[in-house]
Structures are given as structure tokens and as C-alpha cells.
Amino acid sequence: MSTPLLIVLIGFIIFLGHYLAQLFQRTRVPDVVGLLVVGMLLGPVFHLIDPAAFGRAGRVFTNLVLVFILFESGLEVRFEQLRSALRGTISLTTINFVVTTLVVAALAQWLTDLDFLSSVILGSILGGTSSAVVTTLARQVNILPQTATTLVMESAFSDVYTLAIPIALISFYAGASFNVATLLSQLLVALVGAVLAGVGSGYLWLVLLNRVPTLLKTRFSTPAFAFILYGLVELLQFSGPIAVLFFGIAVGNLPLLRRGWLQRVLPARPAELTTVEKDFFAEIVFLLRTFFFVYVGLSIVLDDGYLIALGVGMAVVLFVVRIPVVLAAADRDTPQFDMAMMSIMIPKGLGAAVLATLPAQRGLPGGGTIQTITFAVIVATTVLSTALFFLLEKRRILRFYQLFFGTHRPLDAESATSSEVA
């Protein structure tokens, strides 16, 4: 594609993103599906754009989107929400990862020629959720703040599992050493280190804003600091997404930080992000998110009918097993509607797609099979999540989920009112 046509296409995609966002406001059909379809038409269907042409720039772009989305999401999280959601987040993330890994590995062993370790690698690659998709959907529906916080944090925390464990298993398969105790200690260190780095950087940045007033005049200084934080934390082998998420939480909770013992170490009148800056971040996130989902559609590789069908079938099974996972991890006082929303939030993202290419690159047997199944599951879970989101928000399938979550409290008054309006 020539440069002028590419520039025209970029402008078209931006207009399309705004149109789909307005369409969502009227019809409640998520814009994610439309953007994915556009990407697939441009890439694997008509081959107008080859994602390989982006090279390393594509990987940088996805990380850039992740930094912006997680930081902006963190700004909306309050400490009381975080405190109530943290325990549920850890249990939901862990149980979901273990169950997903075991279910996918069992299906792969039964229905493909993958060996046991390759099947476990496939399951661990698909054990997390996509931060970009989850944060987009969770903020567009009327659920409790702590529920939305749990879902956003799960998508970030799952990166610790889905990055460390598949890479460790692939290295073991390739002949490197593998130790369970070492792996568990690395996971704990990566998690704790990322949280401390994020919160500490939030405090440091607030101090810098007071010491260097010119920083307040630039809207890109805070995102630039988030980029530096993400890169440094990744270089230290910690979780960059978690660090950026907690950096956003720390910055967004500035008024609360001035209470208690922190009042003695924070500046007397610390600078705060203005409404204009937060709106600016929201616009940047919208723009990047639009291109992100088109890029995901571009990156899909579907070259084997049987494996594609198997991947779609695995996706359906994962939605079914997610129900008992949510039952086991969620609090008893979580409303039925929130429980149902938690049950459909399992889209797989570009991180899984990147990891799926590693077995083939390392020469592992079954690497092509792992890659094809993973891409099929990514598309299927993303489309199903958005479709179920639409149906559930319209209360079309709520009765089905109430069969499983009947012991939890029903819709609250606000949700019931919005349901009647819809």
C-alpha cells in the first residue's frame, strides 16, 4: 500500500472509531467487534497490509497502548475500591489461570498431537485476559466500582503468570533448567516489586510536580514518566503493566494520600492532575485503542480449518468454566449482574499472540499448532466477550447466569432502573 493511501486509511480509521463509539451509545454494540473486523479485512482476508511490515514497531505500539490504558484506568480507581477488590483479584486471577491452563491442556492432549508439555505451554499462554479489551468494556457498563477494579486488576495481574510461566516452560523444553521453587519466588518478587515501584513512583512524581512547576504546563510529562517507569520495571524483570497501573492509582488518589502519616512526608499542597489533563489522557487512549484493535485484527493468522474450529470450541469451553471460577473467587455480596459480567470478561489479547510465536521460533515441535490455536482463541474470545457483553447489558441472557448465581443478591435499584430504561 502506498504512503498516500496509508495516510488516507489512518484518517478513515479515526473517523470509523468515533462513529463506532457513537453507535455504541445508541445500540450498545461494542466498537471492538467492528474494529477487529476492519483489521481482519485489511490483513488476513484481503492482504492489503502485512503486519510483519511493522516489525518491532508493532510490538512497541502495543506496549505504548497498554501503558496509556492502564495508567488512565488507574486514575479512576480509589483506595477503598482497591482494598475491597484486592483479595478477590488475587484469587480470581490465580484460579482462572490454573483452571484455564488445565482445561486447555487437557483438550489439546485429547484433540491434537501435542505432547503433554506443549499442551501445558498452550494452556498457560491462554491463562490471562486482555487489559485493553477488559478495561474498555468494564468502563462502559453499570457495575459496582470494586467489580470494575477487580476486572481491570485481574487483566494486569494475569500478565505475571502468562509471561513468566510460558517462557519458563518453553526454556525448559528447549533444554534450560527449570525449578518450581525458583519460578514461584520470581513470580512473587515480580508482583511485589511492580506494586512498590508503581506506588513509589507515584509519590516521586507528585514531589517532582511541586519542585519543578514547569512540568505542570506540559500535558505529556506525566505519560512520559509512565513510559520511563514501564521500561525500567521491565528491564528489572518485574511487571511493567502492574507498575503503571499502581502508578496511576497513586496519582489519582492524591487527596487521600495527604491523610494520616503520609501527610508528614508529602508536600503541604501537592500538585494534582487537572480535569483537562485527564480528558486529554482519555482522548489519547481512545485514539490508541482504536488502532490497537485494528492491529489485533491485522495480526490474526488463521491457516488450518480444524485447528481454527478447535480454538473456537476451546473458547466456548472457557466461557463455561469461567462460571465456577467466578463463583469460587467472588464475594457473597456481589450482585448477580456483576457476577455475570465477570463471567464473560475473558478475552485474550495481543500478549498471548506474541507468546504463541515463541515455541515455533525456538523450534519446539507443535509450535505451529500452538500459534494457530492461540490466534483462533484470541479472535473467538474477543468476539464472544463483546457479543455477550451486548446481550447481558440488554438483560437478554441474565436469566441464564442467574441459574448459577441465584444465591447472590439480585440487581440493585440503579441497575434495575437502567434495565427498564434499556
Provide the residue-wise pLDDT of the chain in tens; the chain has 422 residues. Answer: 677 888 888 899 999 988 888 887 777 666 777 888 898 888 888 888 887 777 667 777 777 877 887 787 777 777 766 776 777 888 999 999 999 999 999 999 999 999 998 999 999 999 999 887 888 788 788 888 888 889 988 988 887 788 778 877 887 776 655 566 776 777 777 778 888 898 889 888 877 877 777 776 677 788 889 999 989 988 887 778 778 888 888 887 765 655 544 555 555 445 566 677 777 777 887 888 788 778 878 877 767 889 999 999 999 999 999 999 999 988 888 899 999 999 999 998 767 877 887 787 778 888 889 988 998 898 899 889 988 998 998 888 989 998 888 765 665 434 443 433 33
Angle 98-100-102 (CA atoms, 0-180°, nearest 5)? 70
d(CA 295, CA 36): 8
- Domain ranges for the chain, please list them: 13-414
pLDDT at 258: 54
d(CA 131, CA 19): 23
Q: Which CATH number fits domain 13-414: 2.60.40.4070, 1.20.1530.20, 1.10.150.120, 3.40.50.720?
A: 1.20.1530.20
pLDDT at 338: 93
Taking CB atoms within 8 Å and a gap of at least 24, the contacts of 18-27 are 21/286, 24/140
Q: Copy the grid coordinates of residue 249.
A: 492509582
Cell 485481574, residue located: 154
**How many CA atoms lie within 13 Å of 85's alpha carbon, on the beta-carbon side?**
21
Task: Report DSSP state, residue 160.
Answer: H
Q: What is the pTM of this model?
A: 0.75
3-state secondary structure of 130: coil
pLDDT at 257: 57
Give the residue among 29, 112, 62 at the shortest CA–CA distance from 292.
62
pLDDT at 302: 67
Residues 104, 93, 40, 44: is their CA dihedral positive or negative?
A: negative
pLDDT at 166: 85
d(CA 161, CA 351): 12
Q: Copy the grid coordinates of residue 321.
A: 468454566
Kindly report the backbone phi and psi dihedral angles of residue 237, in degrees, each rounded to the nearest multiple of 5, phi listed first: 70, 25
Other Cβ atoms less than 10 A from the Cβ of 107: the count is 19
Give the residue among 420, 349, 422, 369 at the shortest CA–CA distance from 391.
422
pLDDT at 216: 66
d(CA 141, CA 129): 18
pLDDT at 316: 97
Q: State the amino acid at position 98 in one-letter form.
A: V
pLDDT at 98: 95
d(CA 112, CA 239): 33
pLDDT at 100: 96
